[in-house]
A = this chain, B = another copy of it.
């Protein structure tokens, strides 16, 4: 079991108890396990390691919080009033498996758990707690976190760059900043790396939406076209989109601040970028 899974499991344990309504707790667990690729959480840990983490419990904890926030956002995105998604990660979405009410409440409770579990992991590093919570809450809320990103879908005029930066970029930026912050480094220097990775991820996701099968995605493909959402492949064509992705990955790597583990972090980012591409487009591992 990896660090991320162990830390998520410990967090979910906080939500249980004989006083808990069973459906809510089961839905929370269902939303988190088994997970997706845990990309954001593993990125957070890769940064913490690159910064020579001195508080591994704290960095594992904040990585789990990043993942809990991601899971919460998926649960609410899938609600009938938004994407009305029937499947997620290859099986029924939370709203289909547990109903709409429990999906609203499980998303709410996962947001709370992301913060609560971090407090427990920060017991021996109290001065780092406040800054880390600010990183997480800015990545979630208004004006420019993922909730704000989703809210741009409710505006008559959408600024595409703002929308994508909030909806996708904010949590990647929080992942790198929080990884550094948990290791006692200046988190501000680490935001930009995550933002760039978020931009690359957005394009990779657009590419996968066009060329992957539902089996590979774990959710329906071709959704962007169906829902009239912007997609880089539709806008610039596949060849240009793949070239743009490679350019963004290079740009991201160029943003790695000086740190002891820069080489490993670079390798991590490259491997992830290759993994994100559909099999038919991915390059053989170097």
- Of B76, B115, B127, B142, which contacts A16 at CB under 8 A? B142
Q: How near does chain B come to A12, taking the closest CB pair, in angstroms? A: 9
| A147 contact set on B, CB distance < 8 A | 24, 105, 108-109, 112
The answer to whether A109 and B148 touch across the interface, beta carbons within 8 angstroms, is yes
| Interface check A134, CB cutoff 8 A | yes
The answer to whether B109 and A108 touch across the interface, beta carbons within 8 angstroms, is no
The answer to whether A130 and B137 touch across the interface, beta carbons within 8 angstroms, is no
| A127 contact set on B, CB distance < 8 A | 126
Q: Identify whether the interface residues of A are mostly helix, strand, loop, or mixed.
A: helix
| Interface check A129, CB cutoff 8 A | yes
The answer to whether B116 and A126 touch across the interface, beta carbons within 8 angstroms, is no
- Of B22, B82, B122, B141, which contacts A116 at CB under 8 A? B141
| A137 contact set on B, CB distance < 8 A | 112-113, 115-116, 119
The answer to whether B20 and A143 touch across the interface, beta carbons within 8 angstroms, is yes
- If the complex has contacts A108-B147, A111-B112, are A154 and B23 also in contact, measured as CB distance less than 8 A? yes
| Interface check A172, CB cutoff 8 A | no
| Interface check A93, CB cutoff 8 A | no
* Copies of this protein chain in the complex: 2
| Interface check A243, CB cutoff 8 A | no
| A19 contact set on B, CB distance < 8 A | 143-144, 148, 162, 166
The answer to whether B113 and A21 touch across the interface, beta carbons within 8 angstroms, is no
The answer to whether B140 and A21 touch across the interface, beta carbons within 8 angstroms, is no
The answer to whether B105 and A108 touch across the interface, beta carbons within 8 angstroms, is no
Q: How near does chain B come to A35, taking the closest CB pair, in angstroms? A: 19
A214-246 contacts to B, CB under 8 A, are: none
| A122 contact set on B, CB distance < 8 A | 130
The answer to whether B102 and A151 touch across the interface, beta carbons within 8 angstroms, is yes
The answer to whether B151 and A134 touch across the interface, beta carbons within 8 angstroms, is no
| Interface check A123, CB cutoff 8 A | yes
| A144 contact set on B, CB distance < 8 A | 17, 19-20
| A134 contact set on B, CB distance < 8 A | 116, 119
| Interface check A61, CB cutoff 8 A | no
Q: Please list 14 pairs of residues, one from A and one from B, whose beta carbons are closer than 8 Å in the complex, sorted by A's number.
A: A20-B142, A20-B144, A21-B154, A24-B151, A24-B154, A28-B142, A81-B100, A102-B154, A105-B150, A108-B141, A109-B140, A109-B151, A116-B138, A119-B134
9 closest A-B pairs (Cβ-Cβ)?
A20-B143, A17-B143, A112-B141, A116-B137, A24-B151, A15-B142, A21-B151, A19-B144, A81-B100
Given contacts A28-B142, A111-B112, A126-B129, 15 further A-B contacts (CB under 8 A): A15-B143, A16-B143, A18-B143, A19-B162, A19-B166, A23-B151, A25-B143, A76-B104, A102-B154, A105-B154, A108-B141, A108-B147, A109-B140, A116-B141, A119-B134
